[in-house]
């Protein structure tokens, strides 16, 4: 079995959903609510385990991110670096806004512009590199 972690995640998820469905009490003892809770917690456990698997694989080197900022010609790429920074910043901001407001936030055009500039810079940089003779630095 190649993806034993995947199987373990699914088994743990089903187990967690079963435990919640069987033993966790709901305030009004409504069976429908119990099923909803079991599915909700089951999905949350599954997403967490999948995320954890990816993180563990990155940390152990099974998923190699050493070339995350590197270009074909060698050396780190500024266009990749700035895209990484802005992705982190917008991702973290999105998470903070969602947990503070408990709803999907309205995304202002400035954020889209920011990400657009960042991603376009990366795209154009790749285009320049592809159009040149040498496999230069990004």
Binding site for other proteins (CB under 8 A): 20, 24, 37, 40-41, 44, 47-48, 51-52, 55, 58-59, 65-70, 73-79, 81-82, 84-86, 88-89, 91-97, 99-102, 105-108, 110-111, 113-114, 117-118, 120-121, 124-125, 128-129, 131-134, 136-137
Contacts for 79 with CB less than 8 Å, ≥ 6 apart? 121, 122, 125, 126, 138
Q: Helices 109-131 & 78-101, crossing angle to 10 degrees?
A: 160
- DSSP letter at 66? T
DSSP state of 104: P
**Which CB, 2 or 28, lies closer to other proteins?**
28
Nearer CB in complex with other proteins: 31/131: 131
Smallest distance from the beta carbon of 3 to other proteins, in angstroms? 20
Give least dist CB 133 to other proteins, A.
Answer: 5
Locus of tokens 């119990």: 34
Placement of tokens 């917690």 in the chain: 41
Shortest separation between residue 4's beta carbon and other proteins, angstroms: 21
């Amino acid at each position: 079995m190649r993806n034993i972690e995947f199987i373990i995640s699914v088994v743990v998820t089903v187990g967690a959903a079963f435990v919640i469905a069987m033993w966790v009490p709901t305030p009004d003892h409504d069976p429908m609510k119990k099923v909803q809770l079991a599915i909700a917690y089951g999905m949350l456990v599954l997403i967490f385990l999948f995320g954890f698997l990816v993180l563990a694989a990155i940390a152990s080197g099974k998923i190699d991110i050493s070339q995350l900022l590197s270009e074909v010609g060698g050396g780190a790429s500024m266009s990749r670096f700035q895209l990484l920074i802005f992705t982190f910043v917008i991702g973290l901001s999105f998470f903070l806004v969602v947990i503070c407001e408990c709803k999907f936030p309205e995304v202002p055009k400035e954020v889209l512009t920011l990400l657009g500039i960042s991603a376009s810079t990366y795209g154009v940089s790749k285009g320049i590199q592809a159009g040149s003779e040498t496999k230069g630095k990004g």
